[in-house]
Amino acid sequence: MTLADRLIGDLGLDARWPEVSMATAACADKPRLFDLPYEYWSGALFALLLLAALWLLLRGKPRERKRFRG
């Protein structure tokens, strides 16, 4: 039994929400989306979120705009 199985069982999540924690496919099936394995999609999403986080972190404090008074 894996750590994830034990954790789900110990927390009672498999009894409360069986439709969420129930395995519906074998790992050998290798699901694909647009003819690419999910591992590639997961890696691409991680890289995209990492770049967005770095951009937000490094862009600095926004400058205050001068307001036109007239």
Residue 36 DSSP code: E
Q: Cβ–Cβ contacts within 10 Å for residue 41, how many?
A: 14
Decide: residue 21, CB within 10 A, 0-12 exposed, 13-18 middle, 19+ buried. middle
Query: For 11-65, what is each residue's pLDDT tens digit?
Result: 988 889 888 777 777 766 777 778 888 889 999 999 999 999 999 998 877 667 7
Quick check: pTM over 0.85?
Answer: no
Cβ proximity of 31 and 25 under 8 Å: yes
